[in-house]
Amino acid sequence: MTSKLFSELGLSAEVLKAVDKLGYEKASPIQAEAIPVLMAGHDVVGQSQTGSGKTAAFAIPAIEKVEVGKRTVQALVLCPTRELAVQVSEEVHKLLFFKRGVHAMPIYGGQSYERQFMGLKQGVQIVIGTPGRIMDHMRRGTLRLEDIKMVILDEADVMLNMGFRDDIEIILQGVPKERQTVFFSATMPKPIQDLIRKYARDPKPIKIEQTALTIPTIEQVYYEVDRRYKIELLTRLIDIHDLKLGIVFCNTKSMVDDLVDHLNAQGYSADRLHGDMSQAMRDRVMNKFRKSGLEFLVATDVAARGIDVDDVEVVINYDLPHDPEDYLHRIGRTGRAGRSGIAFTFASGREIFAIPQIERFTKVKMRRGKPPTQSEVEEARTNAAAGKLRGVLQAGEFKRQDALLERLMEEGFNSTDIASALMHLLQAGDGNAPVKSTRDEDDFGRGERRSSPRDFSRDDRGGDRPSYDRNDRAPMPERSPLKNFTPNRTSKISPGKSASPQDADKIAPRKPAPSETFAPPVKSAPIKAVPTPLAKPAPIAAAPAPAPIAPAPARVEPKTPAPIPAPQSTTWPKRADKTDSTTERPVKASRRTVEGNTRLFMSVGSESGLSSDDLIKVIQGETGLPANTVAAVDMREAHSFVDVKAVEASGIISKLNRVQIKGKRLKVKAA
């Protein structure tokens, strides 16, 4: 098929100027075939793969056929999802940039009715919307369709699969019979063919034949992995390829939520997109992803057709899709407009038998990948750090630290040791030495769990994973947000299945085995019965001899009552009530605190994915107080106790009660 320039398609000067502004040099095959036929007034049935330019193929003729002086709806575009409606609307507005007097408007559920009423009342010529909201406006009489010249069904196969057939027929019966009907779809099943025969008038079929249904610039790789080790494989692939912008697809909304929590807890920037979210939340997430404010977007198939973001590096099928068509639309989110991309697919258990079915559908052989080893990941991190350092050295844009180096060398350190220590700090983030993973690439398995003392512990979400920090890409044991758990012998949870959040109460905590701890082993010694302190009290001096009690003087009312000392005990002294030094108002002392501190209750614990260090950083970030304001943190599973300086307690309570962590409002009060 010979390619054509847009200037050869008989378009107006305004549209050609907009196309040139968008950077398009020549029309894609579907655009070159469909635009002239639509401009001639024929009905069209177009079939082409995702990302081939179908939107411009029907949007340009719709814009050209609008009567500028007539402020009524003349073109209607039906889309299956809100995201796709917004995407098509954005593309239409770009093509309308120089076309004065022509207005387009998206209409979809979840958006304000008042805004839609106002826009329709002012007069728009092109409406892009979802079938449900279009029918709603038709019933209300706010959307008049008597002047419709063209009706476009975009992603018609998806709309039928989502159950919109009756809605589509009602809309098509409500528009004038003398209009153009356009069907665009990646596939043409029998229900769509029935609609075409019923509502289209002598349609012209346009099918772009290709040797493969998928984009050749996408590298497709699949990994056979046990479902319990998917999260570790995912993080290893992200680290070894240094991925910065990607989409991860899951089959269920609950899996999306769990995976986002896992990624965020390990230091990656991720957010979710699924049907349970409000439209405002979905718009906010998509805008953030488009601006690269997120590294990874975790989504369900409902959102797959509406994601149109440039420079997506990778698409990861965390769960294998049930339908090969869904696989096609998933991986079509990368490798767009001739760019290269990667598609990783995880197959566990019997899912491996679905890979040949996908290959037959896409007519592309997928390469079987070998999970990267921990040593390969470490080498990739080292190479990335060396590349950054090399770039800084070559650019010469750094502040010299000769005085500091000379000072260290005078103390007896040589230059090689100093450089190695700096690289260690660079790779270990907060200065903690990286701890190598104990899992080999063969341990990802094919569904059988190995019996090994080094095996991963299960967390409260049923997953198995180490803890990583995104900044340094090294395992950080103290940053691990979840405690170690293992199923009880009486638990009904199968070892080969993931535990759901509802089964969390069936899993009993265990103490880590000596081989799982990071401290060196210590020889056992006889255990002495000693009292265990509840906090870190100051050393207790010997109890002083009781002083003789003097006769009580005459009663005098003081201006400020002096604090009454608490009676001393022979073991642990009872602490007196603390006093706020600024207001001289007695503050009730919290138990398990030392003198001068107040214990606060916070409604966040280890199950939220935070560590003690994270909680201290939250307090510092919100209050601006120094780190020594916090004396101790006692983190439990669902809540925490934090000892802070008494004089700062009220300020900390007032500021932290306005904070949200993991989408939940933090509650802080005196314990």
Q: Are 382 and 434 in contact (CB under 8 A)?
A: no
Q: Using CA atoms, how far apart are residues 275 and 303, in angstroms rounded to an integer?
A: 8
User: What is residue 445's predicted lDDT score, i.e. its pLDDT?
Assistant: 53
Residue 428: per-residue pLDDT: 57
Residues 45, 203: contact at Cβ < 8 Å? yes
The confidence score (pLDDT) of residue 287 equals 86
pLDDT in tens, 380-408: 777 777 777 787 778 877 788 888 888 88
Residue appearing with tokens 């007896």: 412
Tell me the fold of 218-374. Answer: Rossmann fold (3.40.50)
Contact 266, 429 (CB under 8 A): no
- Within 10 Å of residue 252's Cβ, how many Cβ atoms? 11
> What integer pLDDT is reported at residue 401 of this predicted model?
81
Q: How far is CA 649 from the centre of its chain?
A: 34
- Helix axes 230-241 and 374-395, enclosed angle (nearest 10): 30
Is the four-CA dihedral 390, 394, 397, 398 of positive or negative sign? positive
d(CA 180, CA 172): 11
- The beta strands (E) that lie in 216-294 are given as 218-224, 246-249, 270-273
Which residues, 6 or more positions from 295, have their beta carbon under 8 angstroms from its beta carbon? 243, 244, 245, 246, 268, 269, 270, 470
The predicted pLDDT at position 328 comes to 83
Q: Is 134 left (phi over 0), alpha (psi -120 to 50) or beta?
A: alpha
The DSSP bridge partners found for residue 223 are 346
Residue spans of the domains in the chain: they are: 6-207, 218-374, 578-670
Per-position DSSP letters for 393-434, written without gaps between them? HHHT-S---HHHHHHHHHTT--HHHHHHHHHHHHHHTTTPPP
Q: Residue 98: CB partners within 8 Å, gap ≥ 6? A: 14, 15, 17, 18, 21
CA 236 to the chain's CA centroid: 17
- For 545, the token pair is 């001899």
pTM: predicted TM-score of the whole model, two decimal places: 0.45
Q: How many CA atoms, within 13 angstroms, populate the side-chain half-sphere of residue 272?
A: 23
Q: What is the DSSP string of 418-487?
A: HHHHHHHHHHHTTTPPP------GGGG-SSPPP--TTPPPB-TTS-B---EETTTTEE-GGG--S--EEE
- Residue 292 contacts by C-beta under 8 Å, 6 or more apart in sequence? 244, 245
Pairing of strands 485-487, 507-509: antiparallel
Closest CA to 195 of 78, 331, 301: 78
What are the two backbone dihedrals, phi and then psi, of residue 572, each rounded to the nearest 5 degrees? -110, 130
Predicted local confidence at residue 572, as pLDDT: 40
pLDDT in tens, 92-128: 999 999 988 899 999 998 888 888 999 899 899 999 9
Q: Is the distance from CB of 216 to CB of 266 less than 8 angstroms?
A: no
* Identical topology for domains 6-207 and 218-374: yes
CB atoms near residue 659 (< 10 Å): 17
Beta-bridge partner residues of 599: 643
Rounded CA gap, 232 and 607, in Å? 19
* Cβ neighbours around 620 below 10 Å, total: 14
Q: Which tokens is 186 given?
A: 């990646």
Sequential DSSP letters for 120-143: HHH--SEEEE-HHHHHHHHHHT-S
pLDDT of residue 497: 40
pLDDT at 306 (0 to 100): 62
User: What CA–CA distance (Å, rounded) separates 319 from 321?
Assistant: 6
What is the b/e burial string over 508-537, where b = at least 16 CB atoms within 10 angstroms of the residue's CB? eeeeeeeeeeeeeeeeeeeeeeeeeeeeee
Model pLDDT, residue 466? 38
| Angle subtended at Cα 401 by Cα 397 and Cα 402, rounded to the nearest 5 degrees | 120
User: What is the CATH number that goes with domain 578-670?
Assistant: 3.30.70.330
Q: Which residues of the chain, if any, have pLDDT below 50? A: 1, 211, 430-439, 441, 443, 446-544, 549-550, 552-562, 564-592
- Architecture label for domain 6-207: 3-Layer(aba) Sandwich (3.40)
Rounded to the nearest 10°, the torsion over CA 411, 415, 418, 424 is -160
**Encoding tokens for residue 418?**
């100093």
What is residue 5's DSSP assignment? B
Angle (nearest 5°) at CA 52 between 245 and 339: 40
**Would you say 128 and 92 are in contact if contact means Cβ atoms under 8 Å apart?**
yes
How far apart CA 478 and CA 281 sit, in angstroms, is: 32
CA angle 358/364/369 to nearest 5° reads 80
The Cα–Cα gap between 634 and 640 comes to 6
Residues paired with 272 in a beta bridge: 298
Q: What is the pLDDT of residue 423?
A: 76
- Contact call for residues 82 and 108 (beta carbons, < 8 A): yes
CB 430 within 8 A of CB 611: no
Q: Which residue has the tokens 């009904």?
A: 492
What is the three-state SS of 195-236? HHHHHCCCCEEEECCCCCCCCCCEEEEEEECCHHHHHHHHHH
